[in-house]
Amino acid sequence: MARDLLPSIGALVAFESAARHLNFSRAAAELHLTQGAVSRQIRELETRLGLALFERINQRVFLTDAGESYRLEVARILADLASTTERTMASAGGAEVLNLAVLPTFAARWLVPRLPKFLKNHPQATFNFSVRNEPFSFTDVRLDAAIHFGEPTWPGAVCEFLCIEEIYPVAAPAICERFGLNEVAAIARAPLLHQSSRPTAWADWFAAEGLSTTGAYSGSRFDQFSMIAEAAVAGMGVALMPRFMIETELASNRLTLLTGRPLDAGKAYWFVYPEAKVRTRLVRSFGAWLKTEAATPSAPVSA
């Protein structure tokens, strides 16, 4: 690396702020510097680069094409540097840090409520959560592991089985009483709540119960199971929900399991981590704990 080509962090920070605001005065106020100091940093940066990053038109500041391209890269580099610094600081005092990609509803409704049990036996562990709904390349992101729902196919990674997912019809007591939901056929007459990424779930459930699928696609749709759970509690209709995601609502009788067989989603939850992390102590211990928790009666049905 030609280190003599590298500009100072101060110059990059000044440029990024000025480029974001398109205003040197605002950048100076944000950085607690004088406008002159910001201007000087940017002039030195332009001199080092050998090109103009800003231009003035009608007393307004604009980025040149080169400046806009540079801004995107500098913003990414500074964000990565800040993130790396935060992670390094988090490991002070011997702390072990696990950067974990999670599915938002699974994390909020199943993982996080159980995590204190893991931390009790691993007090040095620290977690950084990042939402990822789709598989990604571990070589492109600074993540140690992921919770994945789907098939055990992830290039360059180890996939450890956690549990399969079965979904149950549930409704608030008021909806049960209103539509007489004490038999399977009655569910077809109630308003249905759908998960947007699983548009055929109700049709599949009706077919498995030997019912007509007419009307199985009508009803409100939601992006997240957490939203469906709240809608069901509010009495908007009947939902198909993984049981482990509504443990609290079932225990408090805000939702009731309805008659009928659970529907096998045909997929499973997996703990995934790059092959290079096979011997990492925190990854191993967290994975073992996850599998134990997933096998308990209150978790999703274990294969």
Residue 99: its pLDDT value, please? 92
Q: Residue 299 — very low, low, confident or very high, per pLDDT cuts 50/70/90?
A: very low
Provide the percentage of residues in the chain whose pLDDT is more than 90: 67
- Round to whole Å and give the CA distance between 156 and 195: 31
Q: What is the mean pLDDT of residues 176-196?
A: 93
Residue 169: its pLDDT value, please? 96
Residue 298: its pLDDT value, please? 58
- Rounded alpha-carbon distances, angstroms, from residue 126 to 25, 92, 123, 148, 291: 39, 11, 8, 20, 19
Dump pLDDT digits (tens) for 103-136: 998 999 999 999 999 999 999 898 999 999 888 8
Domain range summary for the chain, segments of one domain joined by +: 3-90, 96-303
- Rounded alpha-carbon distances, angstroms, from residue 232 to 43, 106, 193, 235: 59, 18, 8, 5
Dump pLDDT digits (tens) for 163-183: 988 899 999 999 999 999 989
Q: What is the mean pLDDT of residues 238-248?
A: 92
Say yes or no to pLDDT of 141 above 90.
no
Q: Comparing 141 with 209, which gets the higher pLDDT?
A: 209
3-90: which CATH number, 1.10.1060.10, 3.50.50.60, 1.20.1600.10, 1.10.10.10? 1.10.10.10
- Round to whole Å and give the CA distance between 113 and 88: 26
Reported as half-sphere exposure (CB side, CA atoms, 13 A), residue 283 has a value of 22
Q: Domain spanning 96-303: which CATH class is it, in words?
A: alpha beta
Residue 196: its pLDDT value, please? 92
- Round to whole Å and give the CA distance between 217 and 202: 7
Residue 300: its pLDDT value, please? 46
Say yes or no to pLDDT of 162 above 70.
yes
Say yes or no to pLDDT of 303 above 80.
no
Give the bridge partners for 39, in sequence order.
none
What is the dihedral sign for C-alpha 246, 251, 257, 262?
positive
Dump pLDDT digits (tens) for 1-51: 466 778 899 999 999 999 999 999 999 999 999 999 999 999 999 999 999
Tokens coding 145: 């592991």
Residue 142: its pLDDT value, please? 83
Instruction: Give the phi and the psi of residue 92 in degrees, each rounded to 5.
Output: -65, 145
- Round to whole Å and give the CA distance between 196 and 2: 51
CA-CA-CA-CA torsion for 118, 123, 124, 130, nearest 10 degrees?
Answer: 40
Collapse the DSSP code of 22 into the 3-class scheme (helix H, G, I; strand E, B; otherwise coil) and give the result. coil
Is residue 96 within 8 A of residue 125, CB to CB? The reply is yes
Residue 86: its pLDDT value, please? 73
**The amino acid at 170:** V
Give the bridge partners for 145, in sequence order.
100
